Amino acid sequence: MASLIAMLPTFTLMKDMLLAPIREGILRGVLFESSTSLKTHFYINVFSFPLCYPESHVYLNFGFRLRNQNGEIWDATSPNTWRDFERAIHAQVIPYLDRLSSAAEFAKVAEKYPQGNPQTLKATAFAFARAEQWKEAMGALDALLEQLDCAVSWQHEIANNSRILRDLIAKNPDAARRQLLAWEAESIVNLGLQHVDLQRYDATVRMRKLCSPSPRRKSS
């Protein structure tokens, strides 16, 4: 465990996630997901997404499941699990997250994903806007608005926010910047990150949290 902490000196432990410092509104990290098949089995998801759209949960559209020699399933009882995880951190996690350390870099990667999912196209458009690449943002917003079905409640909300942002970009880019930052602050509160310092984190506190037993979760 100490070696894992030494490898990730800038990461923050929060519940079932290890979070990298936020860079230009991009949340990046690792999510540990329990397996429904066996209590000792789990998955490790590497993820990233922009906070500049008001989000209320972590989603995994951008990223991948970390693999070991046996596939995607990790076994907490295996003596090789943490050794393999450390190797994967060097080989897969850090290189991927480092490539997404700015809104512009995230947007360039995101636009290569299939854009048939509104959530994917939304993230691409808003990341371009966060990077102040207004032309690309406008193009992606136009494509998003054409794709959305406003008869569906969650898509109707995306359409409203997309129109707000598009109008601000067209009329007043400074106001668009302020709105994106306001939505980013809203996402941070919604995700419970407001009390976590994602720019700098005390290694002693992190070590104490990592080495403490995890509290039992209530079944939903």
> 10 near 201, Cβ under 8 Å?
yes
Q: Higher pLDDT residue, 8 or 173? A: 173
To the question of pTM greater than 0.85 for the whole model, the response is no
Strands 12-14 and 17-19: antiparallel
Domain ranges across the chain: 2-102+201-211, 103-190
Q: How far apart are CA 212 and CA 44, in angstroms?
A: 20
Q: Give residue 197's pLDDT.
A: 65
Q: 97 exposed, middle or buried (CB, 10 Å; 0-12, 13-18, 19+)?
A: buried
The region that residue 182 occupies, defined by phi over 0 for left and psi between -120 and 50 for alpha, beta otherwise, is alpha
Mean pLDDT of the region 25-50? 91
Q: How far apart are CA 74 and CA 58, in angstroms?
A: 21
For 108-128, the pLDDT digits (tens) are 999 999 888 999 999 999 999
Nearest to 93 by CA among 55, 46, 150: 46
For 188-217, the pLDDT digits (tens) are 999 998 877 665 433 333 333 433 444 444
Mean pLDDT of the region 55-79? 89
